[in-house]
Amino acid sequence: MTANEARIRELESEITKRDNTILMQQNSINDLKRQVDNLTEILIQMRHDKFGPSSEKTVKSDDGSQQVSIFNEVEVEADSTVQEPFKRNAKGDIAPRKKRVRNEMIIGDLPTEEIVLSLDESELVCEVCNGKLKPIGREVVRQELQYIPSQLKLVKYVREAYECPACKHTDNPYIIKTVAPTSLMNHSLASPSSVAHVMYQKYMQGIPLYRQEKDWERMGILLSRATMANWVIRCAEDYLMPVTDYLRRKLLARDIVHADETPVQVLKEDGKKPQTKSYMWVYRTGNDGKEPIILFDYQPSRSGDNAATYLKDFKGYVHSDGYSGYNKLTEVTRCGCWAHLRRKFVEAIPPGKETELRGSFAVTGKEYCDKLFAIEDDLKDLSPEDRYTQRLDREKPVLEAFWAWLETVNPIRGSKLAKAVSYTQNQKPFMENYLLDGRCSLSNNAAENAIRPFVTGRKNWLFADTPKGADASATVYSLIETAKANGLDVFSYLQELLANMTDWDHTDEYLEDLMPWSEFSRSQCCR
């Protein structure tokens, strides 16, 4: 080998090493770039989760902003073009009859007080001839809504005793006393209306007990939060839990159930630290054309065994999100949630970049989901049978195109898009099961909407003190949400339950008469 050949081989070896080094460095740069992209994506998502709107809707406000502020609600919601009920025009004329009828529906059948503006007797004198004036007509100048603060009164049950005068001086005097109604709690001021008010304020209005304590004090009653908590727990255990147990049996006999769960913190729970998460589970009936039932169940963990135990005797369709714990359900057909799947693709789109990134994998995945929801909106008024047929004709081709498209997606590992694709592939066995029955739903939004009032209330009271309190909360939330879903006035329904369950005869027939859809409940508690 000549010196030149040796030199050439040496140079070739150096070039190969250099090329390998460049390739290694380029791979390293690409890896670092992917890490930066993923971290940037995470940072953008975290910022959006903290400061951006929680809704996944893409509709923007008039000024193009998607940010909604809770601090300037008055300024945002104010609209000078919106007319109040019975609004008059500049000439003082009442609005047209059509408008007036609509406003009467808004106002409702309120008690009315009429204030007549009359002249004093001494003022009924004509300034021209000094004759006496007489009334010739009236006109309504304006109408106002008057707020009357709630009032309290102390109700005393006085029992009378009776004797027979003829037997009074015998060895067997005859004396009877009238029977007093059964009290909610012995040696307590609690009544069906007062306990129902506490429950309504806490669980319907989201007002924690310490704030209610101040309201009672303002009305002149020193009612502590501990007393109110005792009322809620005792009445829930003694009177309301039998109702929710009966509702659960009713739910398990149905064909379709939606399920979801959300964290709740319980401070004093055996074997757990106060910071440990517990969970509130929700189960509700589906779109089967029957009376809606919504039930909450407190459990110390998120284990799928909780759902399996609660739905032990259920055989039908279960709608849920992608949580693997629901895989423990047996003898059921699981239906996946396209709203959750869509959410994964929405999260893969940088906020505000959807139009700019139209045609990208993330936007395309979202558009497939939007297409399915648009078709579902067209089918919402059909019968289950017709909906079943239309879904096969219109949605099945969209689903086939979606799965074929998904095979072409090759996202960057660790990216939001990769997570969306992985989630979709894992959930594929459940995502088309809604096609099996026209009563099934495309999403699990029914359960998410049912659990939302609990999540909102949790922001006010933050945690439960004990498992008993959490169980009581689950019971009251169940009755409130079921009453709302059946169109009842919540306070009236809670009051009627507490008033009638004190003398419960422990039969299903008695409980059936207290169901939110019963003739009795609708006659007493309709809005």
**pLDDT value at position 32?**
80
**What are the tens digits of pLDDT across the range 220-270?**
889 999 999 999 999 999 999 999 999 999 999 999 999 999 988 887 777
Closest C-alpha among 484, 399, 385 to residue 442: 399
**pLDDT value at position 459?**
64
52, 66 contact by CB (below 8 A): yes
Q: Output the six-digit token pair for 394.
A: 């219109």
CA distance 269 to 467: 6
**What are the tens digits of pLDDT across the range 387-445?**
999 999 999 999 999 999 999 998 888 888 999 999 999 999 999 999 999 999 999 99
Q: Which residues pair with 297 in a beta bridge?
A: 281
CB-based contacts of 161: which residues, under 8 Å, 6+ apart?
Answer: 175, 176, 177, 178
278, 298 contact by CB (below 8 A): yes
The better pLDDT of the pair 404, 356 is held by 404
Closest C-alpha among 263, 265, 255, 268 to residue 282: 263
Closest C-alpha among 475, 472, 480 to residue 516: 480
**What average pLDDT is seen over the chain?**
85
At 329, the pLDDT band (50, 70, 90 cuts) reads very high
Tell me the whole-structure pTM to 2 decimals: 0.78
Q: Output the six-digit token pair for 449.
A: 């909407």
Q: How many helices (H) and strands (E) does the chain have?
A: 18, 8
Tokens 């169901």, residue? 515
Q: Output the six-digit token pair for 319.
A: 């709608």
> How big is the chain, counted in residues?
527
**pLDDT value at position 466?**
78
At residue 146, does pLDDT exceed 80? yes
Element (H or E) spanning 304, and its range? Answer: helix 304-310
Q: Which residues pair with 437 in a beta bridge?
A: none
**What are the tens digits of pLDDT across the range 133-142?**
888 888 888 8
Percent of the chain with pLDDT over 90: 53
Percent of the chain with pLDDT over 70: 86
**pLDDT value at position 85?**
52
Q: What is the b/e burial string over 306-329, where b = at least 16 CB atoms within 10 angstroms of the residue's CB?
A: bbbebbeebebbbbbbbeebbeeb
**pLDDT value at position 43?**
75
**What are the tens digits of pLDDT across the range 96-115?**
444 444 445 556 677 888 98
At residue 344, does pLDDT exceed 90? yes
At 274, the pLDDT band (50, 70, 90 cuts) reads confident
Q: Output the six-digit token pair for 188.
A: 């307590």
Q: Output the six-digit token pair for 415.
A: 């990216």
- Average pLDDT (16-28) is 85
What's the burial of 304, exposed, middle or buried (CB within 10 Å: 0-12/13-18/19+)? Answer: middle
**pLDDT value at position 77?**
54
Beta strands 317-319 and 463-464 are unpaired
At 70, the pLDDT band (50, 70, 90 cuts) reads very low
